[in-house]
């Protein structure tokens, strides 16, 4: 009678589990255990229900019981314990469980694979790679192992080996793809239906990244094309291909990629913004402004738009309009850069007092260790489906960065115009940019001249002359200083002669 009841409850528990009704399933497996305590099958089913109900600690208690009840099969239970630890983000404990599993059964493939995965998460990449190699020794040509191994190699920056591993994955995958120079073939519609395209697409993006790192630009380009062919609606491929072209400084091609995606999604503001950034690189400032205005029409609070527009107007030498645009920028991340460029604009407009105030703000922020390259100026889209992908650098960012390293020099120039020569000298002496060494010597020499400290001025101007012997401004002030000193000497001589 009890046996029949046990079978009935066990059957009902399985049925509810199949229907994902784990709470009811759990109740029936507990009834089974009331009838046959310590029944391994019921314990395992109960643990499975607890896992699905996210009660991982309770599930692990049951696996501990199973290990004691059935030591001969404990390697499986240790693996299951490891799964629960992973779900709790306890990867060190998970790794120990998987280690115990393969210690008990040295040819247990799943144990090696799971341990390798944990080691990868724990950033123990060399050990992880060793485990994946053992998996392939136990059972060659496993597509998933090749893929995971490639990820580890990518993390270790072993791009050539990673590329080989990605290729092995593609050759052995149960979902082979058709593109990539016709190396692989499959019915694409069937693939998209069954495998939803994304996993293979992601592999191709990472493969393209490896090719980039190995300077195989043409192959990388083809790989990005293949990723797009798999599913032309997926954003990832377009973004990574655009990034590739930016790295190659092929801004026209990057714009072409963005235009193709904008045909699919015309209101995708990130790509319109990206296009505007590329147009700045091509010095098509008017078109860039049109892009930024379009982004603003779609999303009025899009961060950075007014800054980028101001930047275009700055490069077009429309300084008053540039200032107005910077004043509209609400992004705190760009406040430092806005102060810097606003200060330069005001200096260009000969509004030296206002320029001095803005540049001082920029210096104050710089002294607070504001990281210039965290200001959103050097990246187009904060999206990266490839690990450790290089940060995008735009040359217009470098131009702004140059100003950042010349802040004290810019401030000193304003102070000269305001006839505040002592303060100007202090600024020029603080200037750290090696590129401005000559200019600083010259400007200090000029300040000393206006302060009537002619001997010191002469020393500084001669230092400037040594750095740039052909500069006419240096020669002009050298002549002026020498004349003043000479006239002073003549006057002193006459005074001396008179007294004598």
**495 within a domain of the structure (yes/no):** yes
CB contact at 8 A, 164 and 158: no
Q: What whole-number distance in Å separates Cα of residue 345 and Cα of residue 110?
A: 64
CB contact at 8 A, 278 and 259: no
pLDDT over 90 percentage in the chain: 60
> Please, which pLDDT band fits residue 368 given cuts at 50, 70 and 90?
low
Q: What whole-number distance in Å separates Cα of residue 360 and Cα of residue 54?
A: 56
Asked if the model's pLDDT at residue 489 lies above 80, the reply is no
What pLDDT was estimated at residue 367?
58
What pLDDT was estimated at residue 235?
87
CATH code, domain carrying 427: 1.25.40.10
- In our burial notation (b when 16+ CB lie closer than 10 A, e otherwise), range 359-386 reads bebbbebbeeebebeebbbbbbbeebbb
CB contact at 8 A, 188 and 180: no
For residue 297, which of 262, 321, 273 has the smallest C-alpha distance? 273
- Write down the pTM of the prediction: 0.71
Distances in Å between the Cα of 193 and the Cα atoms of 152, 196, 228 are 29, 6, 16
Lowest mean pLDDT among 15-19, 41-45, 198-202, 414-418: 198-202
Count of Cβ atoms closer than 10 Å to residue 252 Cβ: 11
Phi, psi of 344 (to 5 degrees): -65, -40
What pLDDT was estimated at residue 395?
54
What pLDDT was estimated at residue 124?
95
**221 within a domain of the structure (yes/no):** no
Q: At what angle do helices 319-328 and 335-348 cross, to 10 degrees?
A: 160
Asked if the model's pLDDT at residue 290 lies above 90, the reply is yes
Q: What whole-number distance in Å separates Cα of residue 241 and Cα of residue 227?
A: 9
Q: What whole-number distance in Å separates Cα of residue 390 and Cα of residue 49?
A: 44
pLDDT over 70 percentage in the chain: 83
pLDDT tens sequence across 426-452: 999 887 666 788 999 999 999 999 999
Count of Cβ atoms closer than 10 Å to residue 345 Cβ: 25
**259 within a domain of the structure (yes/no):** no
- Specify the higher pLDDT residue, 10 or 179: 10
CB contact at 8 A, 401 and 372: yes
Distances in Å between the Cα of 348 and the Cα atoms of 242, 344, 379 are 35, 6, 28
What pLDDT was estimated at residue 388?
33
Lowest mean pLDDT among 197-201, 225-229, 414-418: 197-201
Element housing 117 (H / E):
helix 109-121
What pLDDT was estimated at residue 172?
81
What pLDDT was estimated at residue 2?
67
CB contact at 8 A, 385 and 207: no
> Please, which pLDDT band fits residue 387 given cuts at 50, 70 and 90?
very low
**449 within a domain of the structure (yes/no):** yes
Mean pLDDT, all residues of the chain? 84
What pLDDT was estimated at residue 397?
52
Q: Which two tokens stand for residue 422?
A: 């002592």
**488 within a domain of the structure (yes/no):** yes
Classify 138 as helix, strand or coil.
helix
**70 within a domain of the structure (yes/no):** no
pLDDT tens sequence across 292-303: 999 999 998 888
- Specify the higher pLDDT residue, 199 or 50: 50
Count of Cβ atoms closer than 10 Å to residue 434 Cβ: 8
- In our burial notation (b when 16+ CB lie closer than 10 A, e otherwise), range 211-237 reads bbbeebeebbbbbbbbbbbbbeebbbb
Mean pLDDT of 276-296: 95
pLDDT tens sequence across 319-358: 999 999 999 886 666 778 888 899 999 999 999 999 999 9
What pLDDT was estimated at residue 358?
92
CB contact at 8 A, 187 and 197: no
* Winning range, highest mean pLDDT, from 369-373, 375-379, 469-473, 494-498: 469-473
For residue 411, which of 367, 462, 474, 467 has the smallest C-alpha distance? 367
Q: What whole-number distance in Å separates Cα of residue 394 and Cα of residue 90?
A: 41
Taking the alpha carbons of 238, 243, 245, 249 in that order, is the dihedral positive or negative? positive
Asked if the model's pLDDT at residue 496 lies above 80, the reply is no
What pLDDT was estimated at residue 283?
93
**55 within a domain of the structure (yes/no):** no
CB under 8 A, 24+ apart: contacts of 297-303: 298/267, 298/269, 298/272, 299/269, 301/330, 302/269, 302/273, 303/330, 303/331, 303/333, 303/376
Mean pLDDT of 65-75: 93
What pLDDT was estimated at residue 403?
66
- 23 burial class (0-12, 13-18, 19+ CB within 10 angstroms)? exposed
pLDDT tens sequence across 119-129: 999 999 999 99
- What is the number of domains present in the chain? 1
Mean pLDDT of 235-244: 89
What pLDDT was estimated at residue 370?
43
- 140 burial class (0-12, 13-18, 19+ CB within 10 angstroms)? exposed
What pLDDT was estimated at residue 399?
59
Q: At what angle do helices 437-450 and 454-467 cross, to 10 degrees?
A: 160
> Please, which pLDDT band fits residue 110 given cuts at 50, 70 and 90?
very high
DSSP codes of every residue in 225-264 = HHHHHH-TT-HHHHHHHHHHHHHTT-HHHHHHHHHHHHHH
Asked if the model's pLDDT at residue 188 lies above 50, the reply is no
Q: What whole-number distance in Å separates Cα of residue 305 and Cα of residue 303?
A: 6
CB contact at 8 A, 329 and 338: yes
Asked if the model's pLDDT at residue 46 lies above 50, the reply is yes
User: Which domain, by its residues, includes 426?
Assistant: 407-499
> Please, which pLDDT band fits residue 280 given cuts at 50, 70 and 90?
very high
**92 within a domain of the structure (yes/no):** no
CB contact at 8 A, 144 and 136: no
Q: What whole-number distance in Å separates Cα of residue 499 and Cα of residue 369?
A: 61
CB contact at 8 A, 381 and 274: yes
DSSP codes of every residue in 173-202 = -TT--S-TTTTS---HHHHHHHH-SHHHHH
């Amino acid at each position: 009678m009890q046996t029949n009841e046990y079978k009935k409850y066990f059957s009902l528990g399985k049925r509810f589990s199949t229907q994902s009704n784990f709470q009811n399933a759990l109740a029936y497996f507990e009834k089974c255990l009331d009838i046959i305590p310590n029944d391994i099958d019921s314990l395992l089913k109960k643990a499975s229900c607890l896992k699905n109900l996210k009660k991982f600690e309770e599930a692990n208690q049951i696996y501990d019981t199973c290990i004691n009840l059935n030591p001969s099969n404990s390697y499986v239970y240790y693996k299951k314990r490891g799964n629960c630890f992973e779900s709790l983000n306890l990867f060190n404990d998970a790794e120990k469980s998987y280690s115990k599993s393969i210690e008990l059964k040295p040819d247990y493939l799943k144990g090696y694979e799971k341990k390798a995965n944990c080691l990868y998460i724990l950033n123990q990449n060399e050990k992880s790679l060793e485990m994946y190699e053992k998996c392939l020794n136990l059972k060659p040509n496993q597509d998933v192992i090749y893929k995971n191994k490639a990820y580890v190699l990518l993390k270790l920056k072993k791009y050539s080996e990673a590329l080989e591993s990605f290729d092995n994955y593609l050759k052995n995958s149960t979902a082979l793809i058709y593109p990539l120079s016709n190396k692989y073939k499959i019915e694409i519609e069937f693939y998209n239906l069954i495998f939803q395209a994304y996993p293979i697409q992601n592999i191709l993006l990472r493969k393209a990244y490896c090719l980039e790192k190995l300077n195989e630009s043409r192959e990388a380009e083809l790989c990005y094309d293949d990723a797009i062919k798999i599913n032309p609606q997926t954003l990832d491929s377009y973004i990574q291909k655009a990034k590739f072209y930016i790295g190659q400084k092929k801004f026209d091609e990057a714009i072409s990629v963005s235009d193709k995606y904008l045909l699919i999604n015309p209101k995708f503001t990130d790509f319109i913004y990206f296009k505007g950034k590329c147009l700045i690189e091509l010095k098509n400032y008017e078109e860039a402004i049109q892009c930024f205005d379009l982004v603003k029409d779609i999303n009025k609070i899009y961060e950075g738009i007014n800054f980028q527009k101001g930047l275009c107007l700055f490069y077009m030498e429309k300084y008053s309009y540039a200032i107005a645009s910077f004043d509209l920028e609400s992004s705190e991340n760009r406040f430092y850069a806005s102060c810097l460029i606003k200060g330069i604009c005001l200096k260009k407009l000969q509004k030296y007092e206002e320029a001095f105030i803005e540049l001082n703000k920029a210096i104050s922020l710089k002294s607070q260790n504001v990281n210039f390259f965290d200001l959103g100026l050097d990246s187009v889209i904060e999206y990266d489906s490839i690990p450790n992908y290089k940060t995008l650098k735009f040359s217009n960012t470098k131009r702004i960065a140059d100003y950042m390293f010349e802040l004290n020099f810019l401030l000193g120039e304003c102070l000269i115009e305001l006839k505040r020569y002592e303060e100007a000298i202090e600024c020029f002496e603080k200037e750290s940019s090696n590129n401005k060494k000559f200019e600083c010597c010259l400007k200090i020499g000029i300040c000393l001249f206006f302060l009537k400290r002619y001997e010191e001025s002469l020393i500084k101007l001669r230092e400037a002359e040594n750095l740039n012997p052909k500069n006419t401004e240096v020669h002009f002030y050298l002549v002026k200083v020498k004349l003043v000193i000479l006239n002073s000497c003549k006057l002193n001589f006459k005074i001396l002669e008179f007294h004598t």
